[in-house]
Structure 1
Amino acid sequence: MKRTLLPLNALRVFDAAARHLSFTKAADELHVTPAAVGQQIRTLEETLGVVLFRRLTRNLELTPEAERALPALREGFTQIESAVDAMQAGQADKVLTIGAPRAVIAKWLAPRLARLGASAEDRFILVPTDETGSGAARDFSSTNMDLAIIWGAMPAEEELSGKRIAAEELVLVVAADQRDSYGRPADLGEAPLIHYPGHSWQEWFDAAGASHADLDGGLSVADWGLAIDAAAAGYGAARVPRTLVSGDLAAGRVAALFEPTPCDEAFWLVAPPQSWRQPKVKAMVDALMDETGKS
């Protein structure tokens, strides 16, 4: 018999009736009527083409064929229950899988999870994604993520919906002890510049009415987080999202220069519609947004 045609409900009724050797007791266990149990057993016997019970005057007796099949059937139900438990464990209330770029995990997400004071029973699985998180839709299907953080104008994938973490702006930062060296934009004309994919210094210098000796020179790093760390180490100037650098600014590791630049892009908490229906996802988004409002 094909797997898709297995009469699982009727087999469950058969298992109960076989344990009790009584349709009445099986009906009590299953919260149905004895007549419903009898109908399920008759339908199962017709479907399988075998007799499962001998109906005696006061009780039931299993046929040899039914008796031989029961151990394997019960083992099968145990395996199904284990499989269901495994599926539920992956999305249990105490387990939350969040995908985000590495810099976002280090600079924004992990500090907030720490401040939220997770209990020993909570389990967070942080999955590094590509630099902007732009492959989130693909990652949701391959890594069983509950929630992701991406960078962009808005969630681009139709199958995702999101909540913007904050209106974003780009902040120009240097090591705290270098701040007094740069009183005007022109003072950055020969300063070492820190680059990362997707960022252009040209637009900032054009807007500031200043120039630089070598816009292509300096240090190139892989992401926002490394740019912030390089600036904090004293290499030179970096221009990064305020959301990610706010902790380093508050800690005095870096200092901001001049006015920040508003940005059309931002960080978003995104998930498929089915994930937004999970209480644990809603609770985490609310908590992260509340933490963001405090910082």
Structure 2
Amino acid sequence: MKRTLLPLNALRVFDAAARHLSFTKAADELAVTPAAVGQQIRTLEDVLGTVLFRRMTRNLELTDEAVRSLPALREGFAKLEEAVAIMQAGQGEERLTIAAPRDFIGKWLAPRLGLIKASTPARQVTILPSDGPVDFNAANLDAAVFFGAMPAEEELSGKLIAPGTIALVATPEIAANAKIVSEVAAQPLIEHPLADWRGWFEAHGVHMTDRSASLGVADAGLAIDSAVAGYGIARVPLVLAEADIAAGRLAVVMEPKVSDEAYWLIAPSAQWRQKKVRDLVAALGD
């Protein structure tokens, strides 16, 4: 059923004028001029085809129709306020919902959860795995982490939070025997959707015809874990492997490749004004 477009602003002005029985006092409440109040009332009366006020010499008097309408009108405004509160509840300041790729959650974001919690101890934080396109409305998200080039959608804004440098990593023992491309090719290679081993070899002038047995895993995080376990060489974003490299569990094989892609924290432009999103940026290293 088609709904009539209600003149909500004019109705709000009518409610204020009806409470004060004065355009001047209603104007003070609404921070507008008395002339603007009078114009809104005249417009509303024209739209409704109903007289709402009798203009007396010194004051205003409500018509019978106006008096009868006020209880329902004020109940309607209360319901509108309730609806707005419900809309805002899922994205209130006390809740923060973030989506991110699974491997990024496990290797980069999870170790920083303490920083996020420490910045706002009372806030409930929810992290959702998302390895594909992000739908902010469907998941009621406040922010999301995206790997790639900064999304071009006009309604989204982003902040770079981690570089996308791609590195080959393996245990120090395997890395010591993989200093050139042919030696890398002789090692077991760990596959995952973003590894693009074929592209890496072709960039080094080598066509992958014969190759070592490889392991296929779901994401870069599992590829890193497999490399730590000594299975072979993984090709992954360097930031995800930094903790294992610092701990001596992994070493970088050959020279890392700087990528045009990166990890971005993205959100609809309006949501960057929310304190909880600003707090998140600060906690992750503004």
Please indicate the TM-score interval, normalised by the length of the shorter structure: 0.7 to 0.9
Paired with 1:22 and 1:204, the residues of 2 have a C-alpha distance of 77
In structure 2, the residue matched to 1:7 is 7
Partner Cα distance (2:74, 2:91) in 1? 26
Distance 1:75 1:244, change over 3 A: same
Cα distance, 1:102 vs. partner?
1.1
Structure 1 residues 75 and 223, CA gap change in structure 2 (3 angstroms) = same
Q: Which range is displaced more, 186-195 or 242-251? A: 186-195
Q: 1:155 to 1:41 in 2, by over 3 A?
A: closer
* Amino acid across the alignment from 2:239: T
Residue 168 (structure 2) aligns with: 171
* Paired residues for 1:1-295 under 5 Å: 3-4=4-5, 6-34=6-34, 36-54=36-54, 60-92=60-92, 95-116=95-116, 117-130=118-131, 133=132, 135-136=133-134, 139-140=135-136, 142-152=138-148, 154-155=149-150, 157-159=152-154, 160=156, 162-164=158-160, 165-166=162-163, 168-174=165-171, 179-180=172-173, 183-185=176-178, 192-201=188-197, 214-215=211-212, 217-252=213-248, 254-271=249-266, 274-275=269-270, 278=273, 280=275, 281=277, 284-285=280-281, 287-290=283-286
TM-score by length of 2: 0.74
Measure the CA separation in 2 of the matches of 1:229 and 1:48. 70
**Percentage of matched positions with identical amino acids:** 50
Query: What is the Cα deviation at residue 8 of structure 1?
Result: 1.8
Could you say which structure has the higher helix fraction? 1
Q: 1:277 to 1:76 in 2, by over 3 A?
A: same
Which whole-Å CA distance do the structure 2 matches of 1:255 and 1:190 have between them?
A: 18
The root-mean-square deviation of aligned C-alpha atoms, in Å, is 3.8
Q: Return the alpha-carbon distance in structure 1 between the equivalents of residues 195 and 262 of structure 2.
A: 16
Q: Which residues of structure 1 form unaligned runs of 5+?
A: 291-295
Q: Distance in 1 between matches of 2:62 and 2:127?
A: 53
TM score, norm. by length of structure 1:
0.72
Q: Is the Cα–Cα contact under 8 Å of residues 167 and 253 in structure 2 kept in the other structure?
A: no
Q: Secondary structure at the match of 1:184?
A: coil
> By how many angstroms is 1:168 displaced?
0.9
Matched-pair contact (CA < 8 Å) for 1:27–1:33: yes
Which has the higher mean CA deviation after the structures are superposed, 98-107 or 263-272?
263-272
CA offset digits 1:105-163 (Å, max 9, x no partner):
22112322323423223344433222xx5x34xx34544544433323x2353535544
